[in-house]
Each structure stands twice: as C-alpha cells, then as structure tokens.
C-alpha cells in the first residue's frame, strides 16, 4: 500500500513533529512534508498554539508547487475554526493531489471529518502509515481526548533497593548528573509537574526545567488536602500553579489566589483530594502530559486510583537500607495474583544509573 518513498517522507514528517515536543501543547505535535516523488517542495511543523499549523507552514514553503503534489501528514488535518482557520480548506485550495496521513485525530471536533472533506474535494486519502510512531508522539493529547485525563507519568529516582530518601528526608542526590538532566527533559515535554505537600515541605522544590533549553516552563500542580502550603514556597513562583485541596479555608485560599495560584477545592468522601475529579480538571485545562514527582504516599494513591499510565524509574547503583523511604505506598497484597502488572518499554544506562520506562499492562 505504501512505497519506500512514502516511508521516507512520513519519517521526515515525524521528525519535524518532534520539534514541537516541548512547545506544541495543548495542541498535538504535528509535522508535514509536501513532495513530488523523492523531491520535497515544502515542509513544516506546529510550534505552539495560536501559530500556524504544520500544513500551513509547509504550504507556505511550497507555494504554487503544492498543486498536484502528495502531502505527508502525521495527524488528520483540522476541519474546524479554532485559534486558526481549518487546514483542510487550505489543502483543498492548494490543489494537492494526494494526502497520506499517519493517524486519525481523536479530537471529536475533527475525528474523521477532515478525511471526508478531502475526499469530497477529489483528493486521494490514505491513512495508517507509521501510525504507531505518530500515536506515541501524541500519547498525551490522545489520552486527553479519549479519556478526559492527561497521560500520567510517574518519575522516581531510587537506590537499587528501591529507596527514594533517607529516613530523615535527605534525597539530594540519589542519582547522577546524566539521570537528573534526563529528568529535566521529561519535565520540559510535560504540560505540568505535580507533587504533594510532603515533598514541598521536605524539599521546597521549584519544579522548573533546568539544564536544558526550553521555550516554556511547565505548569505546576500541588496536591494539598489540608492547605498546609507555605505562602513562601518556591512552587508559587514563576509558571502558573494549580493547588488542589479538600480544605475550605477561605483566608488561605484568598492568600494563595492573591499570589496568582489557582486553588481548586475537590474533597472526596474521606476529606482528601478527589484525584479522579482532579484529572478531569487538568484535562479540561488543556494538559496533555502530567509528570508526577512526589513521595510514596501520593504515588501510591494515584496508582491505587488507576490514574498512572507510565513509570519512569531511575535506579542508582547503591543501597540505602530498610529504614530509608520507599517509592510507592500500596495496600498489602495477600496473594501474588493481586500484583500490579507492568510491561517494560525501555531500559538504558544513563551514566552509572539505569532508566526503566514501564507501562501498566
């Protein structure tokens, strides 16, 4: 169905889409190539919301040469008016002959309608080239559209015996420089970084991206059931901060809002934050990927609620002993059939440390 030239051009389009890894959200990461056989006449990618989509950038480069050409696109073109006009109209007006698309857009405003409009205009449409790769690139956007939650990624740095800090709270630094820099790349691609009040009180992290260049800082999300957060906390500086709480302390809420934080009161039946409802709020706020950097209690609560999609675990070659703090607090199991099953997606060395990426099966 697809030729070797088709694979070459779609691979190129996917590499272009990756340039939006740190900037495109809440929109999907999209790349586009316009070509005659092996000759590329236009290329583009989507940088960030409000700017031209990948198709428009590629059409602008191609100009009149787009007429009769084949377009390679990593995601179905939009067919609705948002911050920018629909790309399907621009492709039709440009007179392209054929469009090869990696995957359908899961956005209900688009899903399938882009294909229909193109076909009605007499343009040949083929779908499914390198679909798996395109899906992986936009897994957060897809999850938000289909499940009304971000793609939730737990990041944990631990010793070989699974400890994240000494019993006195000391944790800097368990892993080496290469692992910590990789951790900042995960922050940079995320729409937001989440932590709990325990981590904030112990470490007072800023939750910012450092060590690498990025065009934006991720938003910050704090889970603080009793609204214990200090008004001087580093997390309240810089990028927008969401604070989820079960407390109705009006004075504290007002003080936090005066500092620019968004405070959302979402109690569950036992006086804790309703984590499922919290994920819906984050999805409705346009968050595709959420990186969790928290302690064992919040990590366990998220897993117990079946809200975690992926674990990124950095293991350092040392032991901290049985009195040190663990990675995840989960209820005791009474038989092995209850174990939480994961599938390892990737395993690699980063300096002297090991990075394991796994997903729930």
Q: Which two tokens stand for residue 66?
A: 């787009």
Active site residue 55: yes
Question: Which DSSP string corresponds to 300-347?
Answer: HHHHHTT---EEEEEEES----TTSEES---PPPSSGGG---EEEEEE
Cβ–Cβ contacts within 10 Å for residue 29, how many? Answer: 28
- Binding-site positions for Zn(2+) read 53, 78, 87
ω into residue 26 within 30 of 0, thus cis? Answer: yes
Q: Which residue has the tokens 């900042």?
A: 184
Query: Please, how many CA atoms are within 13 Å of residue 157, restricted to the half-sphere of its CB?
Result: 22
Q: How many Å apart are CA 246 and CA 222, to the nearest integer?
A: 12
Q: Which two tokens stand for residue 194?
A: 């989440």
Q: Which two tokens stand for residue 1?
A: 């169905």
Cβ–Cβ under 8 Å, residues 77 and 55: yes
Could you say which of 55, 76, 289, 310 is catalytic? 55
Q: How many Å apart are CA 88 and CA 78, to the nearest integer?
A: 6
Q: How many Å apart are CA 164 and CA 309, to the nearest integer?
A: 20
- Binding-site positions for substrate read 171, 187, 203, 207, 210, 293
- Binding-site positions for NADP(+) read 157, 173, 199, 225, 295-301
Q: How many Å apart are CA 201 and CA 228, to the nearest integer?
A: 9
Q: In what order do the strands lie in the sheet with 151-159?
A: 262-265, 241-245, 219-223, 192-196, 289-292, 151-159, 310-316, 353-360, 342-350
- Binding-site positions read 53, 78, 87, 157, 171, 173, 187, 199, 203, 207, 210, 225, 293, 295-301
Q: How many Å apart are CA 98 and CA 127, to the nearest integer?
A: 11
Catalytic residue numbers, as ranges = 55
């Amino acid at each position: 169905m697809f030729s070797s030239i088709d694979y070459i051009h779609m691979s190129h389009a996917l590499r272009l889409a990756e340039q939006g890894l740190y900037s495109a959200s809440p929109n999907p990461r999209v790349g586009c190539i316009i070509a005659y056989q092996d000759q590329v006449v236009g290329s583009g990618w989507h940088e960030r919301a409000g700017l031209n989509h990948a198709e428009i950038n590629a059409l602008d480069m191609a100009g009149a040469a787009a007429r009769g050409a084949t377009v390679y696109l990593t995601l179905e073109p939009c067919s609705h008016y948002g911050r920018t006009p629909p790309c399907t109209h621009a492709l039709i007006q440009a007179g392209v002959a054929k469009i090869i698309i990696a995957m359908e857009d899961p956005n209900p405003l688009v899903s399938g309608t882009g294909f229909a409009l193109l076909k009605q205009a007499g343009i040949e449409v083929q779908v499914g080239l390198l679909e798996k790769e395109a899906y992986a690139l936009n897994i957060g956007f897809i999850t938000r559209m289909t499940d009304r939650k971000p793609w939730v990624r737990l990041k944990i740095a631990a010793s070989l015996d699974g400890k994240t800090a000494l019993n006195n709270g000391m944790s800097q630094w368990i892993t080496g420089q290469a692992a910590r820099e990789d951790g900042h790349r995960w922050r940079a691609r995320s729409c937001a970084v989440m932590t709990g009040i325990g981590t904030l009180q112990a470490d007072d992290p800023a939750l910012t991206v450092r060590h690498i260049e990025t065009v934006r800082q991720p938003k910050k999300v704090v889970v603080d059931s009793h609204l214990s957060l200090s008004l001087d906390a580093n997390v309240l500086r810089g990028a927008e901060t969401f604070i989820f709480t079960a407390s109705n302390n009006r004075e504290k809420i007002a003080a936090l809002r005066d500092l620019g934080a968004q405070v959302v009161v979402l109690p569950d039946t036992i006086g804790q934050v309703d984590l499922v409802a919290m994920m819906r709020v984050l999805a409705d706020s346009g968050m595709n990927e959420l990186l969790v950097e928290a302690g064992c209690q919040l990590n366990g609560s998220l897993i117990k609620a079946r809200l975690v999609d992926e674990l990124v675990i950095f293991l350092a070659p040392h032991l901290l002993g049985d009195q040190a703090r663990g990675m995840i607090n989960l209820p005791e199991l009474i038989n092995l059939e209850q174990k939480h099953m994961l599938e390892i997606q990737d395993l690699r060395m980063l300096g002297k440390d090991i990075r394991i990426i796994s997903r729930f099966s």
